[in-house]
Amino acid sequence: MSQAQQLNTSLPSSPPSSLLSSPPPFLISPLHPLSVDGVDSVGPGHSCSPSVFPFPRRARPELGGLFQKEKGSQRASDIYFVLLAWAFVLVQVWLNLWMLQLLPIPVAVWVLKKLVVRFGLKRFAEKTLSSWWVGLEKFGSERQDAIMPGPIKGLVQFLLRVDTKVMACPPGPTP
């Protein structure tokens, strides 16, 4: 007889009936399958005996429940994270007081942005710059041959082709 067959014959074929009946009272908890709150019991499922997994395990939440936000605790959590971020900033400013000398730069940029938006300078700048751009394009198209003569244009195209071919080549072995 092999060892596996000897072990098989030494083990009882079925567990005693006392294990299959209800579990002992000290193992029954609010999380037991006999409870009425609908929470899973121990182990992978209801088919396992409670004596195999004596520690209760909570049921997994459904996927839809994972993405639901609890409004009250979410707001409190957000407030705490914002306060934590401000605490980090204040500690860094306290440890590096020289940074206060740089504070006028972002303040000036913010004020300038607010002034541009408030007085409509953005539209004025767009109109002025677009009219200047049209004039520059007209000037460039009229004097295109003087700005870039034919031989220079051909040389630039040749250099661009060579550059793309060199960049496409894989690098050689390094010495």
pLDDT along the chain (175 residues), means of 10: 55 52 55 49 49 56 53 78 95 92 94 90 89 94 88 93 90 75
pLDDT of residue 74: 72
User: Would you say the C-alpha torsion 136, 137, 142, 145 has a positive or negative sign?
Assistant: positive
* Distance of alpha carbon 56 from alpha carbon 43, whole angstroms: 8
pLDDT of residue 162: 94
Q: Structure pTM? A: 0.30
pLDDT of residue 35: 47
pLDDT of residue 31: 52
pLDDT of residue 6: 55
